[in-house]
Structure 1
Amino acid sequence: MRFLVLIFILLSQTAALANHHIDQMGLMSPKITVFSKTDYQAENQNWDIDQSDQGTVYIANTLGLLQYDGEDWQLYETRNMLRSVHCKADTIYVGGNEMMGYFLEKDLASGFHPLTRISTDIWKIYSLGERVIFQAFNRIYFVDAEGHIGFERIKDGSTTTYSYPIGQEIYYQKNHGELLSSNLDGLQQSLSADGALDNYQVTFIEKLGADKMLLATQDHGLFYFSNGQATPIDNQLNELLKKLRINKVLRIGAQQYAFGTMSGGVIIGDLKGHISQQINTQKGLPNNRVHGLMYRDDLLWICTDNGIALLDLDAPIYFYHDQNHQLGSVYDIAYFEGYYYVGSNQGLFYFKPQQNPINTTIHKVEGSDGQVWNLSLIGEDLLCGHNTGTYTIKNHQMKKISDVAGGYQFLESKAHPGMLYQSTYHSVAVYKKIRQQWVFQKSLEHLSGVTRDLAELPDGRIVVTGFSKKANVITLNETGDAIVKMQDLMHQKALRKAHHLRVFSRGNHVLVSSKDTAISFPADPATDEADASLLSGISYFSPKIDHYRLISKNKNLSLFDEQDNSIIELPYYIQVLGQQFIHNYEQVSVLPNNQFGLSLSEGFAILDLRSLLSYRQKTKRTQITAVTFSDDRSGERLPRENYSAVPYKFNTFEVRFSAFNFSDAATYQYKLVGYHDKWQNNGNANEYKIQNLPVGTYSFKVRNTADGRISKIDFRIRPPFYWSKYAIGIYVILQLMLIFSGMRWYKVKLKKQKMEALKKERSRLNKLRTLNNERMLELEAKQLKVEIDDKTKELSKLLLESEKKKEVIESVKHEISNIREQNRFVQKKDIDRLDRIIDKNFDEKKDWLVFESAFSETHAYFFKKLKTKHPRLTDEDLRLCAYIKVNLTTKELASIFNITHRSMELKRYRLKKKMELPKEVDLKTYIFSI
């Protein structure tokens, strides 16, 4: 994964890189993209870099050849360290420790192909005519188009560090010795006078004219070389290069050079001594020791001892990186009297742009410690809203004009000239211009709590917001120092559910925006509908330059064109700067020369509008970099690259692509013709995969949304063998055979079906009869149960009636006995006669026999089953069981047996024990079950 190290810069008023609109200072640098070993998965050290015609970047790494297409890294390992790389046509020539050979760009997976065996190191490779030159310490190898190899030894058996192609010759220096030229035929010529370069080690040679060259030396800086003599260049750039030691030199643009140093990173400057940039570790470079440089499409690639860096020298934005955390979080930027002022949570800082960026330093205004909220240029005064009060700034000094804390925003009134309003921690502060000085008057009454945004309407009313669900329109008196009327904006229908309102001046209206809506106030039907769709949810709406404003929406930065009422999408790395704004304190300043100043949570950035509008991302035609057809079940891949007829087995299609947009994230669209009707958005993803593609012919197309040019690959998914013409013919024959067999089978089956139907019908009738019989038996059983229940009730009733008769007779007998004992006047013979009649008609045994007969009729096998199960039961026990069976209660049983209720319970207990029933079994339930 690649990551951006954003380094924050400001713009000077003077020299710039070629064809660039942004002036640069030492405090700032262009966008730097840094790749570490965790990104490219190889070693820290990278020695050389080149780019192929296709656009892919190749890097000589300690572990082998690195490939990068703007999206994906790939390492092709070699047995020894690589130190040099050179791309020519579709061949990637490489050299290193005892290695001299090449890779094929179309078949990198085939690995390294050696040209010859060597016992030295190859330090540089370049083309000279049709030949490729491999330079080692002690010799130079020539490889022609047919692969024939020749070599030339360094003169006198000496060595050289680097050689350089100039015209049709090779220039090099014998280490700490003479300067030589050699043509392709091996003819050598000495160019330097005796001893002229003996004390120097030349690391770069460039011809400036017919009789003049530029020499760079490792420890002694730059020289002009003419007529065999070296003359040192006398300027500040060269003095700096002497200290940092030159390792690599690369011309960029018409006049500029990039100097890769041994200890100071990269210096960009010209031969007149002007230094445009110093890119080092303080500004995001991964390491100050530079091994390789490459400049293509305004992109400067830097290979270091610990990673790779990429600088977009044509980018419209420069960054200041607070490496030492001196500034902290920046809240506002202003340009005043030739100086840039930066307000942060650490205080107020200033610096002056210098022609030479090395001389630029940043200073802190004395006594400014604390939180700076706002910097506003009001007329000829620079005002500072500080945590401790409000100040004017003059000659880098602060003069307090108010103790009112906060100072989020200043508003100079047009309706009330000479009046200034300021949102603060409490209410709105009012200032008045008296004798050319701003003087604090008062804080407006009737406004409580923190105020945030201020915007004036043409009629003099002021829109004031707080930090939450609070927004008012206030009408001031004639002198502008008191509120006479206040209207709550939250009553507006569109704002009733809004939170965190922001208000921004916009011509004759103010823009009122929240997360879900945006309206103009007063209402403007011509713009409200457009604003609601375009500007809803913005958290910031900047002051404008010409008719352009920067807006922050969903934490992404965009450019809003008020003239066309449209949003212009910015490069991705600029879009995401919205995520570095301080939440609820977003601030963009308008600076000289059509520049926006962006206050960020760490440092700040300067965006040049003119450069932005003319900036074009460095993209090439999007290319398909890898295509795979595979069997999704087994993972097996199609082994060949002929996609005219892909076997059906390999119908999982996967493709990778790249726009070679090294300076920013590309966004892609794709369409699989034959499967999709419309273009599909793929975002930043550079791959597409689809499984189980149906049989058919397809064309995969892909494009970069910023470029539009299309790349495609055509392929066909072949039908499986069982869908071939021969297979279809066999299927037809088999089908006819099946039809014929089927007809015969159908006739046989029809006959069987008829027989089966008859059997089923008979079976159905039999089942119906059985069912009817079962139903009849069930009805009979139900009727029988009813009859049994009725008879049981009758038996119970009979027993009860018999018991009642017994009770009556017993009462009569008892009364007769009393009469007899008392000798009352009754004839004894009459009493005896009554007694005989009662005894004759009441026979307990006879009543039991009657009951037993009726009971046995209802419960035919009860006594038999009971005696079988419990042979120890007596007649008395059987009698009790029968009474229980007819559901007599304990009370009724006690009466029948003429015993107490407790004695009856004891009798039941003894019966249960004699029947040997478990404790948990209820006696009555058990008897009912028999």
Structure 2
Amino acid sequence: MQTQNSKKDHDIKLVKLILIYILLCLPASFFGQVKKIGLPLIKNYTRTEYKGGTQNWDIDQDKNGNLYFGNNDGLLQFDGSKWNKYKAKNSDAIKCLKVDSSGKIYVGCYNEFGYFKANSKGKLEYFSISSSLDKKTLGIIDFIWKIHLYKDEVVFQSFDRIFIYKNNKIKIINAPKRFQFSFLTKSKLYIQDISSGILEYKNGKLNYLKGLNTLNNSEIWGMVELEKNKILATTLDKGLFIITNNQAVSWNTEANTFIKKNGSLGCVLYKNKYIVINSVLDGIIVCDLNGNIMQHIDRTKGLQNNTVLTSFIDKSNNLWLGLDNGIAYVNENSFLTYFGFSYNLGTVYSSVVHKGNLYVATNQGVFYHPWNTDFKEDSFRLIEGTTTQAWNVQVISGELICASNKGALLIQNGKMIKNLDPKGYYGFKSIPNHPNFFIGANYNGFSVFEKTSSGMKFRNKIEDIDKSSNSFEIDKEYLWLKKDQYIHQIALNNDLRTTKSIKTFTQFSKKNMGVGSLQIINNKVFFQSNNIFYTYSTTQGTFLEDAIMTNIFKYIPKIKKLTEDTNGNLWYFYDESMGTLIKVGNNKYKHVITPFSSLTGKLVANYMSINTIDSKNTFIGLTDGLAHYDATLEIKSISKPIAHIRSFTFPGDTIYLGNKQDESMKYELPYDSNQVKFTFSSPCYENLENIEFSYQLEGFGEKWSAWSNNTIKEYTNLKEGNYKMKVKARNSFKIQSGETSFEFRVTPPWYRHYSAYLFYLLIASGLVYYIRFRIRMKIRKNKYAETLEQRRLYLEKETKIRLEQYKLEKEIEKLENDKLQMKLLSKDKELVNNTLQVVKKNKTLNGIIQRLKDINTSSFDEAAKTQFTKLNKSIIKEVSTDKSWKDLEKHLKNVHFDFLKKLKEKHPTITPREMDLSTYLLMNMSTKEIAEFMNISTGGVDLARYRLRKKLELNQKENLIGYFMSIK
């Protein structure tokens, strides 16, 4: 008995250990599942993006995460940041490819097969394997359609033969008749021949498998092992078959019905629980191991082409599709699925499940879909009469009401049966202590509705309120309204027709400025600003901080809106993204934010649409449809991203580090190549637009850069020295990668190299010797030059003395001439003065003559008359014979000869009389004197002076005499 108990305990412990082992060792993907509701996120890549041909035949991934596509225009490589294209020898189209553990990329083309391998600079180079074949064999290779890494061999399969490449040698096995395709299922390699059926390649030979003649007339495009000794085969035109116990039987399932109608181009096993089957006519289906279709993805659901040539599961368990025109990425491993345009949904503002239907309020109206039926194919249907902007759809007092631009619409069984009030409405709330009444926020205020025995009806508009918005709440005391940056507190009278009071608040405390969100949590109205929560105390008439709620949101990003779902979970918006606090106990929450990073930028601003039906079903309104979230899938592990330094570029060359298997090499750059550029990548293909990088160049900067989406960084004019480039990546879930680094060295310029310094030393020594030699030679030359200089100075001094003596003689001669000239000038001036005196005397005598004429001589006797006559004649003779005037003119010209010469040169048109006037003015003679000398009136002098100024072109401000002095 004791032994049995101990054995039982031992068995229990063993079971526990096995369970623990399973839980610890099984990958997180084991727990994942394909969601039947909604569609995964699909991203299409067109040929204009990857710059290749239309058709993509095969897909694989290397250990660095880079993806490779066999394209009609060559080999495409995608690292998450950039597409690259490579060509094989003498061929464009690559029908198949396979990446081995060393990084070689084996490819099959037309009459050609080989592999790409990174060279010393990381650039992929093509190496032909088929070129070693003889020319006769080389010309009949045809297309290579499949490549398999089978044990230590590489098997290339064409329609006529297989080529086994091992140890740089090729072995050829011809087809019994004609091969179709070949498939590697776990550890076995199968090949289909059109006459011999299915063959197994084993130990270098083809072995015929009996009992599978059913498939002889079908074209198999895919084979996957569902479980041990059970293989699913997909055919082009005969549907799906299960191969087991040497028998091939039709797989009579939902999936088989679909493939018989649309044809199959292959399949792939997903997470060992699902099968992805490619079709010719209608995209792909994802089914479980029993053939039940879980998802159908085609062109109407976002795929850019319905013919799927190949499918591939990457390392993150997401799906890649090679299409007849383009490439598609299907984010199967996401927490979220979507209902978008393929389901007839636009921007979603609200959703609710009521009486077996899921109702959705959109910018185009209210749509609905039966809740308990399959969502795979059927679109949402529009409720007739609701075609307008619908802001909300909600259940009030057991009735479904839509708040829309048309009014308050009552909906029953998928039909709009009544418009309760034609005003536009934002939403409705039940009124505490008034079970048969509810309130609605319309465009101009609030209205009250009543549920009566005859149904819902509009009751009244609340007076005194002309403000409204979609953000309002009601408690037992007040109606609270958030409008712009204000919170309005409205107290209603018991009749619900008028208000008692309206108060407005712009802040909840003096220390916390502004107004945030307004929400009901656990049946209590909370006010939030800067993640600090408040409640309103009616007794104290003020807002009081709620420490418990504030502490819950202490480490949460600054929120904009908040709502509580039916399960007590708290959902919040921040920036352009969202997160949730899943309730796990009393005031205890689990913070979940990473699943919603893919919704960043897709949420509807100011309209938080969260509809939680149960833990497996939460609907989130988006600008382009509806997202579905299953909280039970939260246990999925999120892999840590990888950061790659994709390339390292410097003048004249590029090192492709992303292709190299060994990134530990250190490069040296010459100083004239000290301008470098790095490109980064991270093979995190989920939400590529949200992948961010941070980098640091050790030796240049001490800090890491801020996170950004930039995948390129350049550095210029780096100094000589050792550098280490470090890069980190952060995916959309804000999970950081480890550091990836690359070291390089910038050598000093030649003029700062150690050999240059040795050369500088030799040059300096030579200069010292040369300078000493030159100094000695200089001293000798200086002594000789000094003797010559003394001789030159003596001769120069002697010449200078003679020259000075000559100059002195000339100076004496000049002084004597000047002295003589001065004497002559003095004489002329004296003569002028004397002449002027004589002129004045003649004027006096003329005056006497005039007076003598006035004397009456009739009273004189004869003697007196005779004497008077003699005196008069004597005076007249004296005056008439005097030539002093002409002498005066001559002397004036002599005295002022230089002045008159310069004046004439400067003004050639000046007349002699004007020159005389100029001379008189230069001598500072008065107008009266000039009039007498020129024998004109004083007015004539003024006129002559005016004409002279005009001829000399002088303005009124210029002084005439001063002008003459400047000429002299």
Matches within 5 A, 1:581-600: 581-585=603-607, 587-593=609-615, 595-600=617-622
Query: In structure 2, the residue corresponding to 1:241 is in which secondary structure?
Result: helix
Give the partner amino acid of 1:121: F
Question: What does residue range 239-278 of structure 1 map to in structure 2 within 5 Å?
Answer: 239-278=257-296
- Runs (5+) with no aligned partner, structure 2: 1-28, 537-542, 658-662, 787-836, 857-864
TM-score relative to the length of structure 2:
0.73
Deviation at 1:281, TM superposition (A): 0.9
TM norm structure 1: 0.76
Alpha-carbon shift at residue 873 of structure 1 (Å): 6.8
Letter in 1 for 2:709: N
1:109 aligns to 2:124 (yes or no): yes
**Contact 1:315–1:615 under 8 Å retained in 2:** no
> Which residue is equivalent to 1:712?
741
Deviation per CA, 1:666-713: give whole Å up to 9, x if none: 222222223332322352233333223222223222222323322222
2:157, 2:163 within 8 Å by CA — same for their partners in 1? yes
User: Where does residue 280 of structure 1 map in the other structure?
Assistant: 298
Partner of 1:604: 626
- Counterpart of 1:138 in structure 2: which amino acid? D
Match of 2:192 in 1: 173
* CA 1:494–1:126: 2 relative to 1, 3 Å: farther
Contact 2:35 2:337 in 1 (8 A): no
Local SS of the residue matching 1:408: strand
Letter in 2 for 1:86: K
How far apart, in 2, do the equivalents of 1:656 and 1:125 lie? 32
- 1:94 — aligned with what? 107
- Which residue pairs with 1:139 in the alignment? 161
Which letter maps to 2:284?
V
Maintained 8 Å contact 1:352/1:360: no
How far apart, in 1, do the equivalents of 2:851 and 2:552 lie?
121
2:491 aligns with 475
Q: Structure 1 582/929 Cα, relative in aligned 2: closer, same or farther at 3 Å?
A: farther
**2:174 equivalent to 1:153:** yes
Aligned to 1:43: 53
* Inter-CA distance 483–850: structure 2 relative to 1 (3 Å threshold): farther
Shift of 1:395: 1.5
The structure 1 residue matched to 2:325, chosen from 292, 296, 306, is 306
Q: CA deviation at 1:906?
A: 5.1
In structure 2, the CA distance between the partners of 1:448 and 1:210, relative to structure 1 (3 Å rule), is closer
Counterpart in 2 of 1:692?
Answer: 717
Q: Indicate how the Cα distance of structure 1 residues 898 and 470 shifts in structure 2: closer, same or farther if over 3 A, else same.
A: farther
Q: Offset at 1:304?
A: 0.5
Compute the displacement of 1:484 (Å). Answer: 1.2
**Match for residue 24 of structure 1 among 14, 36, 49:** 36
Contact persistence 2:35–2:295 (CA under 8 A) = no
Residue 39 of structure 1 aligns to a residue whose secondary structure is helix
What percentage of residue pairs aligned between the two structures are identical? Answer: 24
1:421 corresponds, among 439, 454, 462, to: 439
Matched, 1:675 2:690: no
Aligned match for 1:489, one of 505, 525, 529: 505
Separation in 2 of the partners of 1:872 and 1:266?
112
Code of the aligned partner of 1:293:
S
Q: CA deviation at 1:48?
A: 0.5
SS state of the match for residue 29, structure 1?
coil
Contact 2:112 2:128 in 1 (8 A): no
Q: Which residue of 2 aligns with 1:60?
A: 70
Quickly say closer, same or farther: Cα 1:707–1:638, change in 2 above 3 A.
closer
2:481 corresponds in structure 1 to 464
In the alignment, is the contact (CA less than 8 A) between 2:562 and 2:573 conserved in 1?
yes
C-alpha distance in 2 between matches for 1:391 and 1:734: 98
* Pairing partner for 2:647 from 626, 631, 643: 626
User: What is the identity, as a one-letter code, of the residue corresponding to 1:85?
Assistant: L
In 2, distance between residues paired with 1:417 and 1:886? 127
Q: 1:561 to 1:866 in 2, by over 3 A?
A: farther
Shift of 1:97: 1.4
Matches within 5 A, 1:250-399: 250-296=268-314, 297-323=316-342, 326-353=344-371, 356-358=374-376, 360-399=378-417
- 1:881 — aligned with what? 918
Structure 2 match to 1:69 = 79
Indicate the SS of the match to 2:680: strand
Q: In structure 1, give the amino acid aligned to 2:503.
A: Q
Select 2:232's aligned residue among 214, 230, 234. Answer: 214
1:33 aligns with 2:25: no
Partner amino acid, structure 2, of 1:290: V
* Aligned AA (2:356): G
Kindly state the Cα deviation for residue 164 of structure 1 after the two structures are TM-superposed. Answer: 2.1
Computing the radius of gyration from Cα coordinates, the structure with the larger value is 2
Counterpart in 2 of 1:650?
673
CA contact (8 A) 1:513 1:535 kept: no
Report the CA distance shift for 1:256/1:534 in structure 2 as closer, same or farther (over 3 A).
closer
CA distance in 2 between counterparts of 1:208 and 1:592 reads: 33
Q: How many Å separate the matches in 2 of 1:919 and 1:56?
A: 93
Residues in 2 aligned to 1:21 and 1:462: alpha-carbon distance in whole angstroms: 45
Q: Residues 485-634 of structure 1 correspond to what in structure 2 (within 5 A)?
A: 485-490=501-506, 503-505=518-520, 508=524, 510-511=526-527, 523-524=543-544, 540-543=561-564, 546-553=568-575, 555-557=576-578, 570=594, 575=597, 577-585=599-607, 587-593=609-615, 595-611=617-633, 613-614=634-635, 616-628=637-649, 630-631=650-651
C-alpha contact 2:560 2:572 (8 A) present in aligned 1? no
Aligned to 2:461: 443
> Offset of 1:192 from its aligned partner?
2.3
Distance change in 2, residues 1:414/1:23 (3 Å): farther
Q: Residue 642 of structure 2: SS of its match in structure 1?
A: coil
The change in CA–CA distance for 1:546 and 1:337 in structure 2 (over 3 A counts) is same
Quick one: which amino acid aligns to residue 621 of structure 1? I
CA change 1:891–1:460 in 2 (3 A) is farther
Question: What do residues 196-249 of structure 1 show as CA deviations (whole Å, max 9, x unaligned)?
Answer: 334432223345566654332211211233455433222322111111101111
Shift of residue 454, structure 1, vs aligned partner: 0.7
Distance 1:422 1:820 in 2: 139
Equivalent residues of 1:401, 1:440 under 8 A apart: no
CA contact (8 A) 1:856 1:862 kept: no
Q: Is the 8 A contact 1:510 1:520 kept in 2?
A: yes
**SS at 1:680 equivalent:** coil
Q: Which moved more, 1:594-603 or 1:917-926?
A: 917-926
Q: CA 1:461–1:921 in 2, change beyond 3 Å: closer, same or farther?
A: closer
Q: Contact between 1:670 and 1:679, CA under 8 Å: does it hold in 2?
A: yes
Higher mean C-alpha deviation, range 307-316 or range 854-863:
854-863
What is the one-letter code of the residue matched to 2:112? M
Distance in 1 (CA, whole Å) between partners of 2:211 and 2:889 is: 152
Correspondent of 1:660 among 677, 680, 683: 683
Deviates more, 1:283-292 or 1:398-407: 398-407
Q: 1:224 aligns with which of 242, 257, 261?
A: 242
Check whether the contact 1:556–1:579 (CA below 8 A) recurs between aligned residues.
yes
* Cα distance change on mapping 1:269 and 1:566 into 2, 3 Å: closer
Distance 1:444 1:738, change over 3 A: farther
Q: Note closer, same or farther for the CA distance 1:895–1:285 as it changes in structure 2 (3 Å cut).
A: farther
Judged with a 3 Å threshold, the aligned counterparts in structure 2 of structure 1 residues 204 and 890 are, in CA distance, closer, same or farther, namely farther
1:125 maps to 2:125: no
Letter in 1 for 2:917: L
Aligned residues: 828
Greater mean alpha carbon deviation, residues 206-215 or residues 257-266: 206-215
CA distance in 1, matches of 2:249, 2:897: 144
Paired residues for 1:829-848 under 5 Å: none
Q: Any gaps of 5 or more consecutive residues in structure 1?
A: 1-16, 756-801, 822-828
The one-character-per-residue Cα deviations of 1:748-787 (angstroms, maximum 9, x if unpaired) are: 99xx9xx9xxxxxxxxxxxxxxxxxxxxxxxxxxxxxxxx
